[in-house]
Amino acid sequence: MTETRRTWSEAESARYRAAGHWQGVTFGARLRASAAAHGGRVALVDGERRWTYAELDTEADRVARGLRGLGIGRGDRVVVQLPNRAEFLLVWFGLQRLGAVPVHAMPGHRRREIGHLVRVAGAVACVVPDRHARFDHRELMRGVRAEQGAGGSLRHVVVVGDPGPDEGFVPFEALRAEAPAESGPATDDGGADAADVALLLLSGGTTGLPKLIPRTHDDYSYNARACAEVCALDARSVYLAVLPLGFNFAFACPGVLGTLMAGGTVVVAPDPSPQTAYALVEREGVTLTSLTPPLVPHWIDEAASGTWDLGSLSVVQVGGARLPEDHARKLGPALGVTVQQVFGMAEGLINLTRLDDPEDLVCATQGRPVSPDDEVLVVDADGRPVPDGTAGELLTRGPYTLRGYYRVEEHNRTAFTPDGHYRSGDVVRRLPSGHLVVVGRIKDQINRGGEKVAAVEVEEQLLTHPAITAAALVGVPDERWGERSVAFVVCTGTAPGVREVAAHLRERGLAGYKAPDEVVRVPALPLTAVGKVDKAALAQELPRP
Ligand X SMILES: O=C(O)c1cccc(O)c1O
Q: Are the CB atoms for 133 and 224 separated by under 8 Å?
A: no
* Integer Cα distance of 294 and 423 in angstroms: 27
The residue of the chain with the least Cβ separation from ligand X equals 344
CB nearer to ligand X: pick between 228 and 345: 345
What phi, psi does 46 have (nearest 5°)?
Answer: -135, 105
Longest dimension (CA), the chain: 70
Task: Select from 342, 501, 510, 533 the one that contacts ligand X (CB under 6 A).
Answer: 342
Q: Please, what is the minimum distance in Å from the beta carbon of residue 447 to ligand X?
A: 7
- Nearer residue to ligand X within complex by CB, 126 or 402: 402
The stretch among 149-157, 228-236, 275-283, 340-348 that binds ligand X (CB under 6 A) is 340-348
Strands 265-268 and 238-241 come out as parallel
What is the DSSP annotation of 239-280? EEE-S-TTSHHHHHSSHHHHHHHTT-EEEE-SS--HHHHHHH
User: Given candidates 28, 344, 404, 482, which one binds ligand X under the rule CB under 6 A?
Assistant: 344
Residues 250-269 that bind ligand X (CB under 6 A): 253
CB nearer to ligand X: give 294 or 320.
320
Which is closer to ligand X, CB of 192 or CB of 323? 323
DSSP secondary structure, 274-286, as one string: HHHHHHHHHHHT-
Q: Which residues of 420-454 are buried (b: 16+ CB within 10 A; e: fewer)?
A: bbbbbbbbbbbeeeebbbbeebebbbbbbbbbbbb
Distance (Å, whole) CA 25 – CA 383: 37
Least distance between ligand X and beta carbon 437 (Å): 13
User: What is the nearest approach in angstroms of ligand X to the Cβ of residue 291?
Assistant: 11
Residue 367 CB, nearest distance to ligand X (Å)?
Answer: 10
Contact residue for ligand X among 88, 220, 343, 405 (CB under 6 A): 343
The minimum distance between CB 346 and ligand X, in angstroms, equals 4
Per-residue binding letters, 300-339, with ligand X (x by CB under 6 A): -------------------xx-------------------
- Which among 47-55, 82-90, 326-334, 341-349 is the span making contact with ligand X, rule CB under 6 A? 341-349
Is residue 102 a contact point for ligand X (CB under 6 A)? no
d(CA 369, CA 288): 20
Applying CB under 6 A, the span of 157-165, 296-304, 342-350, 530-538 interacting with ligand X comes to 342-350
If the CB atoms of residues 361 and 471 are measured against ligand X, the closer one turns out to be 361
List the beta bridge partners of residue 87: none
172: left (phi over 0), alpha (psi -120 to 50) or beta: alpha
Residues 500, 505, 506, 508, Cα dihedral to 10°:
130
* Residue 244 found at the interface with ligand X (CB under 6 A): no
Member of 207, 216, 248, 340 binding ligand X (CB under 6 A): 248
Choose the stretch contacting ligand X; rule: CB under 6 A; options: 133-141, 142-150, 344-352, 415-423.
344-352
d(CA 496, CA 520): 10
Q: Where are the alpha helices (DSSP H) in 43-123?
A: 53-69, 86-98, 111-121
Give φ, ψ of 257 to 5 degrees.
-70, -40
Residue 249: count other Cβ atoms within 10 Å of its Cβ. 24
Point out which span in 213-221, 277-285, 323-331, 343-351 binds ligand X (CB under 6 A): 343-351
Q: Toward ligand X, which CB reaches closer, 66 or 255? A: 255
How many chain residues touch ligand X (CB under 6 A)? 11
Nearer to ligand X, 455 or 538 (CB): 455
198 forms part of the interface with ligand X (CB under 6 A): no
Minimum Å gap between C-beta 81 and ligand X is 17
Q: Is 249 in the site for ligand X (CB under 6 A)?
A: yes
Task: Give start and end residues of each alpha helix (H) in 365-454.
Answer: 409-415
Residue 345 is a binding residue for ligand X (CB under 6 A): yes
Contact residues: ligand X, CB under 6 A: 248-249, 253, 319-320, 342-346, 350
